[in-house]
Chain A
Amino acid sequence: MTSWRERLLAPGREPVWGSSLAVLVAVAASFLVVAASGKDAALGFAYLVEGAFGGPGPLGETALKSGVLVLTGLSVATAFTVGLFNIGAEGQLIWGALAAAVVGHALDVPALLLVPASLFAAGGAGALWGLLAGALKVYRGVHEVISTILLNWIAIHLVHGWLVPGPLGASGSGTSVSIAGTEAIRPAAWLPRLLPGSRLDLGLPIALACATLAWFVLTRARIGFEWRAVGAGAGAAEACGIPIRRRICQAMALSGAFAGLAGALLVLGTEHRYPGVFRTGYGFDGIAVALIGGATSPGVVAAGVVFGAVRAGATRLQLAGIHPSFAELIQGIAVLLVAAPRLFAPLLVRLRTYARPPGAPP
């Protein structure tokens, strides 16, 4: 009967410890940077925590941001499963958001139909953009890191520089560059709010449902196994009869769909339109979430919630005179630390030795 201490420290659990340590160290290091620049780090930390967890309002914000991050994290993690690096969650998110905004405005049906329809449109739009990168990789040999990054920029420019100010922009904005974005979506398309006194909505539950679905497919379904085989050894998978090209495209489509859904959450839940000024960056955050979460569904959920909290709390940092981009700093350092598992290996070996009951074999 292994003690719970032993089970936590067993080999295979190292990624959990590695990631947790990485996040803690990253937070500490970032606050050190803040302190070094002469600001009040302790106050900043207090504001951060308050902004993330101090009441229904902050909790709602954390939930909002977590939902989006879990989805973009899932997006990147799904691509990882087949061995691809999806840097394009950003672009896929943008198309998803736009699709949700358009459908949410155009269709005149009750909420029970409109919300799913908008979500579906968002997922579909994201899926197509992801599929494009996947197809370019398997049929034309274009490395997905480069293609997804280029596709991001194409999406950003086409949507922010043409579609939203132009054909899809809110009418009546005249000849000035629109800062109002697209037409507002119908109230029937709004994601229902769940907690009075906050903006907590159906977003996080949707994200968690997607995470559960992903987990189920990857661990229990035949196709999930094939995806994992493609990522673990494409040559062997192919030789064993798995249609690797088709599987990679499927996985990239799902990956894009998750990112598109993340965009839908933003539009249907918070903005209620595709705004003229749209914070881009959740897609890139998703990369950090997936890496720190070890590309597993439970890990992505945990990392997504942690970083959602950080982002929600970071908006309060300005009260302490700290720039909110601080959250990116934490993320970046955490990814750096997670990237080097060997950094923590000696520490973990020592911890494991400590946890072993006396007399047990090594």
Chain B
Amino acid sequence: MSALELRGIVKRFGAVTAVDGVTLSVEPGEVLAIVGENGAGKSTLMGVACGLYRADAGMVRVLGRELPPGDPRAAIEAGLGVVFQQFMLVPRLRVWENVVLGREPRRLGVLDTARARREALAAAASSGLSLPLDAPVEELSVAAQQRVEIVKQIFRSARVLVLDEPTSVLAPSEIAQLLLTMRALADRGHAIVFISHKLREVLEVADRIAVLRRGKLVQVERKEGTTIERLAEAVMGSDAPAASPAIATTGRSATAVARLVARDLRCQRERGGEALRGLSFQVAAGEVLGIAGVDGNGQTELAEAIAGLRRATGTLELDGVDGLRSAGWAQDPGAARRAGVVHIPEDRRARALCLPLTVEENLSLGWHAQPPYARGRLIDRPGRRRKAEELIRELRIDPPEPLARAGDLSGGNQQKIVAARELYGGPRPRLVVAVQPTRGLDVGAAARVQGALRAAAAGGAAVLLISFDLDELRAVATRLVVLYGGRAAGEAPPTASDESLGRLMLGEAA
């Protein structure tokens, strides 16, 4: 009897068919990897399996028991546990409260706190993990939160454990730890489903590998019977884009003039505590400096400080002009923009787009007070329209309709709006700050955005690329600086090994 059986699953969201007739099974004690690019339907498939979504067709069976559609409770009862990419934790509650939520041990109708904590501890131990039970989840590191998620499923006696893109937010050594945990759990008889787009990791830990493309199941192979190249081919299919051009190390001469010089940057976190503790680095015109590091080491605050959204101390010089002194260019977003600094933020929905407004209006944000978008105090509607059409063409924004509501576009196209606006909407930028610019984008959109960034650098801008994804950094950056604990832990070329980068990312000496 299979641990998890999916038969003929179909799921549509409006006009989009996310999952198109997938049949798959996982055996106890095995690790099945599901690979595919962003948008292939992997997360949706698991969402259907665990009852978060109702399938339009098909059947789900866990340990022989058929699940009623759209019922997360039934899936949990049957023994299916899912660790999502976006953690399903309640930030303000404590670790033990999150673990036992929904299955709380009671005594005389009241929550039995002591027993809850005991059982949470036991669940953690049985998966070989340790957790600070009383800490509010929002105070934990990302890797620790992920462990809470895993323990949560073990506590619920999950026999099938699904992990959705668990490694995209971890440092290399944390990834290795997680892969070991997966193997250990499988050896104890659990069935593990490992969803990822990182083929190398998948080949390390999986027994069998299933490939999804555009919602369809393309193949299922045993690990022994395949290679990375064969897998990549299956994932991309016939429209594998031409290999990205090798990064031209732009022959940086030692006398290249630094466009941006940061010295001893210090900055506070939103909720108190120091995010940056004396960070120093330089970016030259024409180069793409990648800032690597595990999320939470000050990346967000760094981007905000440069873009004028957060106060910082130290020195931040753009072509020699310090932005951090009073009335400097880094004191507010408007001043930064006028100084030639553009910003592609981490959270496009909250910080870059006004979703209810049209594509045309969003394309004008930030530049809307100048020609060609405005004439005096009035909006120059024909001018704005022409510019919008130009930008839509430049990055192939789809649908190419200026009056479409920005919120209706896909994530990839929304990001294209932001990139087009920041990089081409106004005068040539002198400094580009991009944070996770291709997160969640499909291959086509990601390629366009990365291309635009490289073109900006080629055009003379200094580009600061902040990302938690080493693959993205390797694809675009010409030089890497690793951020750890609010400081520069070290520098490395993009060709550096996972191991050496990983050590820097965790604060160990290079």
Contacts and interface: CB of A to CB of B under 8 A. Distances in A.
Interface of A: 220-223, 225-226, 228-229, 232-233, 235-243
A232 B377 contact: no
A233 B355 contact: yes
B354 interface: yes
Nearest to A362: B15
Nearest to B343: A239
Contact of A228 (B334, B343, B345, B357): B357
A225 B337 contact: no
Given A236-B353, A240-B337, A243-B334, A222 B374 contact: yes
Contacts of A229: 354, 357, 361, 365
Given A229-B357, A237-B354, A240-B333, A221 B377 contact: yes
Interface in B362-416: 365-366, 368-369, 374, 377-379, 381
5 contacts: A220-B381, A225-B361, A225-B379, A232-B354, A239-B351
A238 B366 CA distance: 9
A233 B354 contact: yes
Nearest to A243: B334
Interface string B19-51: 000000000000000000000000000000000
Contact of A232 (B334, B355, B366): B355
Contacts of A222: 368-369, 374, 377-379
B356 interface: yes
A361 to B, nearest CB: 12
A238 B356 contact: no
B118 to A, nearest CB: 41
A227 to B, nearest CB: 11
A228 B356 CA distance: 10
Contacts of A236: 350-354, 365
B443 interface: no
Give 8 nearest A-B pairs by CB, closest first. A241-B334, A233-B354, A232-B354, A240-B366, A240-B365, A235-B350, A232-B356, A241-B333
B332 interface: yes
B260 interface: no
B34 to A, nearest CB: 34
B309 interface: yes
B75 to A, nearest CB: 28
B307 interface: yes
Nearest to B375: A222
A152 B355 CA distance: 33
B333 A220 contact: no
Contact of B378 (A221, A226, A232, A240): A221
B355 A239 contact: no
Given A225-B361, A232-B357, A241-B366, 18 more contacts: A221-B377, A221-B379, A222-B369, A222-B374, A222-B379, A226-B368, A228-B354, A229-B365, A233-B353, A235-B350, A237-B365, A238-B309, A239-B333, A239-B343, A240-B333, A240-B365, A241-B336, A241-B337
A84 B444 CA distance: 39
Interface residues of B, number: 29
A228 B357 CA distance: 8
Contacts of A221: 377-379
Contacts of B378: 220-222
Report which residue of B343, B345, B354, B374 has the largest number of chain A beta carbons within 10 angstroms of its beta carbon: B354
Contacts of A241: 332-334, 336-338, 366
A220 B384 CA distance: 12
Interface string B46-72: 000000000000000000000000000
A113 to B, nearest CB: 29
Contacts of A238: 309, 333
A278 B452 CA distance: 64
Interface in B307-356: 307, 309, 332-334, 336-338, 343, 345, 347, 350-356
Nearest to B381: A220
A234 to B, nearest CB: 9
A192 to B, nearest CB: 33
A237 B309 CA distance: 12
A229 B353 CA distance: 9
Contacts of A240: 333, 337, 365-366, 368
Nearest to A237: B354
A255 to B, nearest CB: 20
A7 to B, nearest CB: 15
Contacts of A233: 350, 353-357
A107 B350 CA distance: 51
Contacts of B333: 238-241
B354 A225 contact: no
Contacts of A228: 354, 357, 361
A223 B338 CA distance: 18
Contacts of B368: 222, 225-226, 240
A235 B379 contact: no
A34 to B, nearest CB: 39
A353 to B, nearest CB: 16
A221 B376 CA distance: 9
A225 B358 CA distance: 12
A222 B365 CA distance: 11
Contacts of B352: 236, 239
A311 to B, nearest CB: 32
Contacts of A225: 361, 368, 379
B369 A235 contact: no
B348 to A, nearest CB: 8
Contacts of B343: 239
Interface in B110-151: none
A241 B334 CA distance: 4
A171 B49 CA distance: 79
B233 to A, nearest CB: 36
Contacts of B365: 229, 236-237, 240
Interface in B80-103: none
Given A229-B354, A232-B354, A239 B332 contact: no
Contacts of B366: 240-241
B94 to A, nearest CB: 27
A248 to B, nearest CB: 15
Contacts of B353: 233, 236
Contacts of B356: 232-233
A242 B369 CA distance: 10
Contacts of A242: 334
Interface string B270-302: 000000000000000000000000000000000
